[in-house]
Structures are given as structure tokens and as C-alpha cells.
Structure 1
Amino acid sequence: MDEERKRASIAVTAGVLGTLALLAGIGLVVVYGGLYNIAATEDHTSVTRWAFETTFQNSIERRAADIAPPENVTPQMIAAGAEHYKAMCQHCHAGPGVERSEWAGGMRPRPPHLTEAAAEWNIEEVFWLA
């Protein structure tokens, strides 16, 4: 009876390992084959959206943990940041009194208005994101 259990245990372990190896192989084919359409104009599946959002949140939390934003923000720093935002971010994320560019309206997921989205982050995370 013990020998039978041992063989059954080995078979189950081999089946689990084989299944994991198969899933890893499929994942590698999808990744290296470029089989998943990541275009910002295509909507993603709920699982993909969850994976992207979770990775995004956790990545920022981890990297911003050791950030020390400047204690004294000068008007020159604000002006420089506003210029960078206008040049690199405003097209998709809009800004105070400015709508996003028309072409950014078709992006998926839709880029949030950062003036509103920033309220969801602590100052270290906002500083890291910028």
C-alpha cells in the first residue's frame, strides 16, 4: 500500500510540474513571439488590466519608498516642472484648463487627468512619477 501511495504521489508531482512547465512554455511563446497586442488603441482583457494596474501600483510604491522630495519647492522648480509636463505629459493627461490632445482620446486605458489622479498618491510617489 505504501508503494502505491508513493507512486501516486510521484505521478501527481510530475503532473503538477509538467503543467507548470507547459504554462511557462506557453507564456514564453506569447512573450517572445509578440502574440499579445499591447497597443494603446486596443482594450485589454480584465486579467491583463489587473496585471498592468497591480504592477504599476506596486512598482511605484516600491521605488518611491526611499524618495525624499525637496522640502522647499521654489517658483523656479515649479515653472521648470510645468514646462516638462507641458512638453511630455499634457498631450495625453491634460492639465489645468487644458484638455488632452484629440489623438490621445483613443488610448486604452484612457490616460487619467493627472491633476485628479495625483490625489490618490502620496507626495513621494508623485515625486517619483514626475
Structure 2
Amino acid sequence: MASIVLETVIEADAAEVWAVIGDFEQGPPRMAPGFVTGTELTADDVRTVTFANGDVIDERLVSLDHEAQRIVWAVIGGTVRPLHDNASLQVVAESERLSRLVWIRDVLPDELAPPLAATMADGLAVIRETLSAGQA
């Protein structure tokens, strides 16, 4: 199983960042507008995320830990169907107005990791810009 680990620093308070990251239903289009074009909650713990490139992904919420400021989800369907795909985002306070966002993703088959890592890096740049500017 391949693991992808990406981090970025966001110029915003960790609580402000978490308010967006921890929003399972509407967080994706708020944190990455233009990259994510929409989400729809299809069950209490399942969302469908639509991306600008046309991909539509069904994701199940695995864990939402407000104390640790960490959300975990798994891909369970859609236009991309890996054998396994589990991801987490965690917000870590660096200082009063600086946060670190850590994105970890485990995926099978391993061959999916390079293109997914590239897409994640593009998305992370949008997230950093959006949340640093307070636009979410």
C-alpha cells in the first residue's frame, strides 16, 4: 500500500482552519473553491464530492475528532475506484495565526499514488491560498 503525506502552512488560526476542514458536508468546496465544485450528503456519513476535472467521488466519514482537529474518510465509490483509499486531514496549531495542515492518504494499488499525489498537491495549494486569505 502506498502512502502519500503532504503538509502546508496556513496563515490562519487553527480553530478557523478546523471550522472548514472539519465540515464533512460542505468543507471541500469551501476549502478548495474551483477545484471542488460541489458536495452532497447522501447519508449521515456519506458524501458525494464533484471535482472540476469531472471526477465524482463517494466518501464515507470514518472519524471526526474535534479535539485532535482530525477528519478521516474513505473512498467507497464514484468515477475513481481504487482497491483501498483512506485519507485524513489534521490541523495543528503552529502559533496564534499560523496552522499546519497535514494530509495523509493510503491507497491501493500503489500505481495510483503518483497521479493522486500530484492532484493532492494542486488541491493543497488551493486550500492554503483560500484559508490563508480567509475566503472560506
The alignment's TM-score, normalised by the length of structure 1, stands at 0.28
Higher share in helix? 1
Higher share in strand? 2
Whichever of the two has the greater Rg, that structure is: 1
The alignment's TM-score, normalised by the length of structure 2, stands at 0.27
